Amino acid sequence: MTTEPLHIRGIFLPETEPKDLWIKDGVLTGEPIAGATTLARDVYVTPGLVDAHCHIGLGVEGQVTREVALAQAQADLAAGTMLVRDAGSPSDTRWVQGDDGLPRLLRSGRHIARTRRYIRHLAVEVEPDDLAAQIRHEARDGDGWVKLVGDWIDRSTGDLEPSFPADVAAQAIAVAHEEGARVTAHCFGEQSVAELVAAGIDCIEHGTGMSDDVIDEMARRGTALVPTIINLNRFPQYAEPGREKFPKFADHIMALYGRRRETIGKAIEAGIPVFSGTDAGTVVPHGQILEEVAELASLGGGDFALRASSWGARAWLGAAALGVGVSADLIVTARDPREDVTELRRPLARVLRGRVL
């Protein structure tokens, strides 16, 4: 891809001293380029944001058209998301990876859920005996991640219950690791997160049921957390409509909702690797990454929120941040967004693969 040569002088986060970098053919270089256009001076440059729990290609009724998926990806990019870790989609979104005008995408394939224990049309549903084989398939089909539905409402008990027996889940996680893939799981309740962390899972989504002991264990193991706080804020709209039929579930969800900020705050304080994710795709609209960054900042401060949503998340996913020889995926602001994350809402420029958006 050929782009106009550009020059930027500023502080390239997370560094603290200003420097000059140029952009040639979409890549950052330290070598001056004659005739390059100066995009900005005396600015702050943030590596493109990461949405580590996003569902491009997913809608409330499952698979969406290519046109809808394109609009989803464009909405994410418009908010500053330049790297997406797919957290489950029934659509084949490999075409997104071939479009230089869209965010970079790491696919996880489809959610894996227990039969008749998840939202219809979203997941591939299996029984425990078939879990290991399915996780092997998804590991080979994706880009290094597999997504489990760790718990959901069990209509026989009327409450959140783990989707799979603990020993079966542990075996499946081991299979994914044999295939070179990492595993993450949707977990609302207490039991599923405890069992999956003990089984060696790599990441937990949501995590509202984390106890103090589980938080300590996650910190010890380095188990990551993507809390999707803007989704947790919607728990009342998940619980209340079904209260008459499933009062135990409604009470449980509302209790988790009531202590959600305390729980996530404890995870941050314990040093658990926490990263940004919106859960966009069904209830949560696409393009909400800055709302999630603001929530993270309200719990851990601006520097924490930027690390969790930018250079730290990129390192966790094996993607480069900013430096010589790296793709120019960046956001330029007049002031330091670590001091005030709302600066990201007022960018001087957003650049993807060296092209000013």
**Mean pLDDT, the chain, integer:** 97
Asked if 165 and 218 sit in the same domain, the reply is: yes
Give the pLDDT confidence of 198-255 residue by residue, as tens digits: 999 999 999 999 999 999 999 999 999 999 999 999 999 999 988 999 999 999 999 9
In angstroms, the CA 84 to CA 54 distance is: 7
Give the pLDDT confidence of 37-79 residue by residue, as tens digits: 999 999 999 999 999 999 999 999 899 999 999 999 999 999 9
* Length of the chain measured in residues: 357
Domain carrying residue 22: 6-47+319-356
Asked if 330 and 207 sit in the same domain, the reply is: no
Question: Does residue 2 have a pLDDT over 80?
Answer: no
What is the domain-level CATH number for residue 186?
3.20.20.140
How many folded domains does the chain comprise? 2
What is the CA 248 to chain-centroid distance, rounded? 30
Q: Which amino acid is at 293?
A: V
Supply φ then ψ for residue 125, to 5 degrees: -110, 130
Q: What is the DSSP letter of 343?
A: G
Give the pLDDT confidence of 128-139 residue by residue, as tens digits: 999 999 999 999
Position 242 scores a pLDDT of 87
Instruction: For residue 81, tell me if it sits in a domain.
Output: yes
Instruction: For residue 125, tell me if it sits in a domain.
Output: yes
Position 346 scores a pLDDT of 97
In angstroms, the CA 245 to CA 153 distance is: 12
Give the pLDDT confidence of 177-188 residue by residue, as tens digits: 999 999 999 999
Identify the bridge partners of residue 49 per DSSP, sorted by sequence position.
81
Q: Are 89 and 127 in contact (CB under 8 A)?
A: no
In angstroms, the CA 304 to CA 301 distance is: 5
Instruction: For residue 118, tell me if it sits in a domain.
Output: yes
Identify the bridge partners of residue 63 per DSSP, sorted by sequence position.
58
Asked if 122 and 247 sit in the same domain, the reply is: yes
Asked if 68 and 195 sit in the same domain, the reply is: yes
Instruction: For residue 1, tell me if it sits in a domain.
Output: no
Question: Does residue 1 have a pLDDT over 60?
Answer: no
Asked if 206 and 337 sit in the same domain, the reply is: no
What is the domain-level CATH number for residue 16?
2.30.40.10
Asked if 28 and 94 sit in the same domain, the reply is: no
In angstroms, the CA 52 to CA 70 distance is: 18
Asked if 23 and 59 sit in the same domain, the reply is: no
Question: Does residue 315 have a pLDDT over 70?
Answer: yes
Asked if 287 and 345 sit in the same domain, the reply is: no
Supply φ then ψ for residue 199, to 5 degrees: -80, -5
- The counts of H helices and E strands in the chain are 13, 20
Instruction: For residue 142, tell me if it sits in a domain.
Output: yes
Give the pLDDT confidence of 256-285 residue by residue, as tens digits: 999 999 999 999 999 999 999 999 998 999
In angstroms, the CA 337 to CA 16 distance is: 13
Asked if 55 and 188 sit in the same domain, the reply is: yes
List the one residue out of 277, 236, 291 whose CA is nearest residue 88.
277
Instruction: For residue 196, tell me if it sits in a domain.
Output: yes
Asked if 241 and 290 sit in the same domain, the reply is: yes
Asked if 351 and 254 sit in the same domain, the reply is: no
Least confidently predicted of 27-36, 192-201, 234-243: 234-243
Instruction: For residue 152, tell me if it sits in a domain.
Output: yes
> How many CA atoms are closer than 13 Å to the CA of 207, on its beta-carbon side?
33
Instruction: For residue 85, tell me if it sits in a domain.
Output: yes
The token pair that represents 198 in the structure block: 């003990």
Give the pLDDT confidence of 146-168 residue by residue, as tens digits: 999 999 999 999 999 999 999 99
- Reported as a pLDDT band with limits 50, 70 and 90, residue 3 is confident
* H helix or E strand, kind and range, residue 85: strand 81-86
**Given 3-state DSSP classes, what are the helix, strand and coil percentages for the chain, each rounded to the nearest 5?**
35, 25, 40
Asked if 206 and 290 sit in the same domain, the reply is: yes
Position 281 scores a pLDDT of 93
Share of the chain above pLDDT 70, in %: 99
Angle between helical axes of 302-309 and 289-300 (0-180°, round to 10) = 140
Q: Are 250 and 243 in contact (CB under 8 A)?
A: yes
The token pair that represents 84 in the structure block: 């997406």
Q: Are 88 and 123 in contact (CB under 8 A)?
A: yes
